[in-house]
Structure 1
Amino acid sequence: MTRTDRLYALMEELRAVAPRPVTVPVLARRLEVSERTVQRDLKALAETGAPVYSATGRGGGWSVDPAMTLPPIGFTPGEALAVAAALAAAEGSAPFADGIRGAMRKIAASLSGQALVEAHELAAQIVALPSRLDPTVRGAVEWALTRREVLSLSYLDAGGRTSEREVEPAGLLAAEGRWYLVAWCRLRRAPRGFRLDRIRAAAPTGQAAPRRELADLLGSAATGAVTPAVLDSLAP
């Protein structure tokens, strides 16, 4: 069993009984390795952000939060390369990009043989210009969207004028390689699209935002906008 296989097996052992903990001796016996190896692997999983944690005291051991992890996903080599290329293009410039490097490490760990060779060749053929999107701004937008909070922002418009606004986020629009926050602008009392790389500063206010339908706010401003086909499988 390779180390990658062992890490996957270790996660599956923890997931199978979660949230109940499993002791290191039990894990070592099931995986047929030493307790020291299990300890080292658990530490490696924790360092990569896997939701594993130790519990002390009687009945202690290691456990995984079932709500914070997904079962393993089996990619074909072609799917893995396609996802790798898409992640490389999105890193730093797309919303919710912070998880990209972790996702890429997991995809790389799942590859072997010719697929791994092709992935290495692909990596050598992709370059990108640095993103102009402030990661602090991106994080604030992500927070406000997922928690439905009013967002305070400083925005630089196409004419070079800066304004301070409070907006009620409704969703995101991707258009011609750029990302826009679609929101109800309290200053203008109307729907507006804010180009993410023109937002100079942003911070959630902690105030709950009313639910607004993205399609209603888009109106005629984005005629023909549709949910990307790649997201169809996530539709309710």
Structure 2
Amino acid sequence: MRADRLVAALLFLQARGLVTAAELAAELEVSERTARRDLEALTASGVPVYAQRGRGGGWRLVGGARTDLTGLTSPEVQALFLAAGSSGASPELRSALRKLLRAVPEPLRPQAEAASRARIVDELDRSGAAMTAVGPHRTVLERAVLDGVRVRLGYARPGDEPRERVVDPLGLVLKAGHWYMVAGTADGLRSFRLGRVTSAEPTEEPVHRPAGFDLAAAWRSLAARLEDRLLAATVTAHADQDALPVLQRLFGGRLSIGRLLADGRREIEAAGPSLEVLAAQLAGLGPQVEVVGPPRARAHLARLGEALMANYGTAREAAVR
């Protein structure tokens, strides 16, 4: 059941007091069967909704048309606001969350507020990328965000050994099929891809949350810095037509395909964090791609070729003999 529909159903019940499945279906623009399943799901989750049988019956929130939703436990409140807060950022849903928050018992409101801002989906992401593996630590980190406690985090960047540090988990972000944690560190705000987390151990220390912290704004700043690093260097090359699909998968939006050359190849430009990284990535395509500039990228490819010959040249000669 979609979180925004669950919120809408609760608000409709609170406003009307007694509703039929048909009335709720018309309000939510779903089938009567779906509306009935939603009402039953609310009851099963602990929301104080019950069915009044017979003529003139329907579904009612315990306590009448005005209720504080006291049937919700703290974990249920957090689960509801966590799901609804991350399911989208439409003005209608934000308005519904604000209204629902007023119906939550006062002692549970801090948890509800924390959950509603704990994670987001990057609105700028239109890739439709499939969800990737996030590792075994997402539940622990999500709990740390909700509880507001620091975490001793093990993290390994590609090619590096895992490194431990204590961080302040502030929120989770879904971007292009990957989950990231935004956290405070000794070096300021940083993002950590959950698939690279090697360990996560909550501490008893409270997080330091910067004054006026906004997860969406923080993520935009971090994402812009990451994008700058990814576009720090560019190389120009001539590529066989058959290599273009592989290059597009390898570089995505960092690849520009230019004019058709007289020999049937295409002129391309690829961007990356450094010339060395770009050269190493393009080297894997062998003679299908010829890097033409800048000279430093060609020089690095030549060094790679010499190193490969040193490692494998003797083995090739032995195999020929």
Same fold (TM over 0.5): no
Higher relative contact order (CA 8 A, sep 6+): 1
Q: TM-score, normalised by structure 1?
A: 0.40
